[in-house]
Amino acid sequence: MKIVINDANILIDLVKLELLEAFSKLNFDLYTTDFVIEELNDKQRAPITELSESNKLGIIETIAIEDFQGINTILENSSGLSFEYCSVWYYRKNFQVYY
């Protein structure tokens, strides 16, 4: 099962509560976007980077202009959602990653 972490607060809480390693051992394929990662400060990002480098967390990078446009379309048509949240919604919707 694929799980997309759609909010930096989830990652922040897992780091703060020292549950990141235990969470990463669950039987899920974990993903988030580069925009969600950018919301983290250096102290929060360090253990998340380690998780990514050990292939326990996939970070979806937005490179193509079409992807930026798709995220912006969702943002423009939503009420109060952040760009970061819309990036996760876009990839979930377009690449069959479930959360």
Q: Encode the chain (99 residues) as per-residue pLDDT tens digits.
A: 667 676 788 889 999 999 998 988 888 888 899 999 999 999 999 999 999 999 989 999 999 999 999 999 999 999 889 999 999 889 887 765 544
Residue 99: per-residue pLDDT:
42
Using CA atoms, how far apart are residues 18 and 98, in angstroms rounded to an integer?
A: 25
Is 0.85 topped by the overall pTM? no
- Give the strands of the sheet with 29-33, arranged side by side: 2-4, 29-33, 57-60
Tokens of 55: 């292939």
Q: What is the pLDDT of residue 98?
A: 44
The pLDDT score that the predictor gives to residue 1 is: 65
At CA 16, angle to CA 7 and CA 62, rounded to 5? Answer: 30
